[in-house]
Amino acid sequence: MSVLEIRDLHVTVETDQGTTPILNGIDLTIKTGETHAIMGPNGSGKSTLAYTIAGHPKYTVTQGTITFDGEDVLSMSVDERARAGVFLAMQYPVEIPGVTVTNFLRTAKTALDGEAPSIRQWTKDVKASMTNLRMDPKFAQRNVNEGFSGGEKKRHEILQLEVLKPKLAVLDETDSGLDVDALKIVSEGVNRAKEATNLGVLLITHYTRILRYIRPQFVHVVVKGKIVEEGGPELADRLEEEGYDRFLDPSAPIE
């Protein structure tokens, strides 16, 4: 079993206005095999949490700790975090011109494992995952994220998840821009990875829709960089009905 522990996490970002605090003391413990949903209104700091776990240089941790199996994550490079088994699927995945999906996956796998995967098994694994995700085999020869539709980007993220086999996956708005069929396919991919490798999942979402397909055991509501409520799946059901209104300051300007 592996465990990610976030303690009293404070994070700032540099903007034109100077240093802006975004996360104001987040506590979270995620073990492999568990699925946690982070929910909250737009601008509450959900993506900031994801990027901070992954080590994005724009975000500065000013207080608190993140450890993975007791190791200090914050002192690790982005690569070291990935090698430790932490995977981030971004809300806005980047294009990598000139690098095909198949080469990207193989390079990533080699970097993670410290050795190239055996060709036959690897080719089989990638093919099987692509079939499961209903991806055209031709997709493997396209450049990463170049001209991908929203749905293709998300499928490519889940393909990475399935073949790279991390211990913990942070999925930021994996549901955004997906129609119901694509959402089901993507969710099935996450559920397969959960079963196959006892993956821990931190599922970040504004909407409850994806939580019908990927059921979380734990739900945390983030507002203004703080966890303001926690519960089980019933909390997601409640949010589906009520939205975030009761967490918001009625006098605050609408974003």
Chain residues binding ligand ADP by CB under 6 A are 13, 15, 22, 40, 42-48, 58
Per-residue exposure over 1-23, b if at least 16 CB sit within 10 Å of its own CB, e if not: ebbbbbeebbbbbeeeeeeebbb
Of 43 and 137, CB closest to ligand ADP: 43
Of 34 and 172, CB closest to ligand ADP: 172
The minimum distance between CB 110 and Mg ion, in angstroms, equals: 31
**CB distance 209 to 176 below 8 Å:** no
The Cα–Cα gap between 159 and 15 comes to 34
Question: Using CB distances below 5 to 8 A depending on partner kind, what does residue 112 bind out of ligand ADP, Mg ion, none?
Answer: none
The minimum distance between CB 111 and ligand ADP, in angstroms, equals: 26
The Cα–Cα gap between 230 and 222 comes to 9
47 interacts with Mg ion by CB under 5 A: yes
Residues in the interface with Mg ion (CB under 5 A) total 4
The minimum distance between CB 152 and ligand ADP, in angstroms, equals: 22
Of 19 and 65, CB closest to ligand ADP: 19
The Cα–Cα gap between 86 and 71 comes to 12
Q: Tell me, what amino acid is at 92?
A: Y
**CB distance 100 to 140 below 8 Å:** yes
42 interacts with Mg ion by CB under 5 A: yes
The minimum distance between CB 65 and ligand ADP, in angstroms, equals: 20
Beta 168-172 vs 143-144: how paired, if at all? unpaired
Of 42 and 118, CB closest to Mg ion: 42
Of 22 and 105, CB closest to ligand ADP: 22
Site string for Mg ion, 76-95 (x = CB under 5 A): ---------------x----
Contact residues toward Mg ion (CB under 5 A) are 42, 46-47, 91
